[in-house]
Amino acid sequence: MNRLTLALDVMGGDFGPRITIPASLQALEQDPMLHLVLFGDSQAISPYLANIPHHLRQRINLQHCDRVVKNQQGLSYALRHSKGSSMRLAIEAVRDGAAQGCVSGGDTAVLMGLSKVLLQPLAGIQRPALVSNIPTIDGKQSVMLDLGANIDCSAETLVQFAQMGAIFAENNFDLVYPRVALLNIGIEELKGLKNIRDASQLLQQQTDLNYIGYIEGNYLLNGYADVIVCDGFAGNIALKTLEGTAKNIFSLLKGTKKQPPSLIKKLLIRIGKYALRKYFVQLKQFNPDQYNGASLLGLTSVVVKSHGSANQAAFLYAIQQAAWQVRSEIPNKILIGLEKN
C-alpha cells in the first residue's frame, strides 16, 4: 500500500477541531500509510496535538488559516470571499497535487461550487452529484444520488447520475450489473414529474445499465435496488428523513440521563432491541455515523462532504471513505466507464 495524503478542512462543521482532530488522529492510528494536511486555526488546533505520539505527529502537516467560509450571505458572495479559508485551501491542495483527496464538513453548496471551479468536473459530466451509501435490511448497502447538490435535474442529468452511480456501486460493493432504480411517487409508468418519466424512458434504452424501473420511498432500505437515483431536492429530504428516524430510534432505545426509562419502558426497550436485531440483522448497521460522508461524484479528484453535525466516529468514516476512493481510483474509473457509453 502506497502513501496517501488527504487534505482536511478541520474548521468545517458545527464543532470544528474538537471533533475533526480526534477523528484525524484515529484515522492515522488505523492507517499507517495515511498522511494528513490539516487546514485551520493553529491556535484552536494545537492543544489537540500537544501530546500525541511522534509517529502520528510526523504524518501531520498543519497549515494555519484563520478564515472559515460560510454561506450566510448567499453562495456567490461566499465563493467570492473564500480566498484563504480552510475549505478553499484544502481543495487547492488537491488541485496543486499536495493531497490526493479532500474532506470537509463545511457548507455543501460552497464546497460543490469551489470544487467545480478549482478541480473541474470530469470530461462530459454535466453536473457532479452527491452520493452516499445507505444500509438495507438484509445487511448490505445501496448507493443513492443526488443528495442535495442539484435541486433541479433534467432527464439527461438523471441518466448520467445513474451511470456514475452504477460505476460507484460496482467498485464499492464488487457488483456486476448493479440494479438501478429511479425514486418516484409510484411504480406506474405515468406517475411522477416529466423529467423523471423522460429519464425512465432514456434509461430503458441504456443497454449498459440494469435499469429496473421506479422505486418508492418506503422501499429505500429493503435492498430492492443497488443504485437509487433522484434529484437533489428529493434525495436530501429522503436521506435526512432516514437519518432522523434512525437517530430517534437510537435515542428511544438508549433513554436519557434526565429521564431514565421506567420499568415498563425498559421492558419495551429490551423487546424492541430483540426485534430490531432479529429483523435488521444488527442494530448498529443503521447507525447514521457509519454512513457519514457524501462524495462529490463526477469531479477529477476525490472530495467528501461530511455532515456538519458529525461526531468523531462519523468524521472518521468520512476520512476512510475519501481514502478508499483515492486508492480505488474512483474518478478515473467513472471517466473510463462514461467513455464506453
Same domain, 198 and 250: yes
pTM: 0.85
Do 230 and 197 sit in the same domain of this protein? yes
**Of 151, 71, 65, 63, which Cα lies nearest the Cα of 111?**
71
**Cβ proximity of 5 and 327 under 8 Å:** no
Q: Residue 280: its pLDDT value, please? A: 46
Residues 5 and 112 in one domain: yes
User: What's the pLDDT score for residue 283?
Assistant: 47
Q: What is the count of structural domains for the chain?
A: 2
Q: Write the pLDDT tens digit of every residue in 210-223.
A: 999 999 999 998 99
> Does 336 fall in a domain?
no
Domain at 221, CATH number: 3.40.718.10
Q: Render 170-230 in DSSP notation, one character per residue.
A: HHHHT-SS-EEEEE-S-SSTT-S-HHHHHHHHHHHT-TTSEEEEEE-GGGTTTTS-SEEE-
Kindly give the parts of the chain with pLDDT less than 50. Answer: 278-283
Of 326, 337, 324, 331, residue with least CA distance to 133: 324
Give the model's pLDDT for residue 279.
47
Q: Are 220 and 144 in contact (CB under 8 A)?
A: yes
Instruction: Give me the domain span that covers residue 70.
Output: 1-121+298-329
Q: How far apart, in whole angstroms, are the C-alpha atoms of residue 235 and residue 239? A: 6
Instruction: Let me know whether 25 and 116 are in one domain.
Output: yes
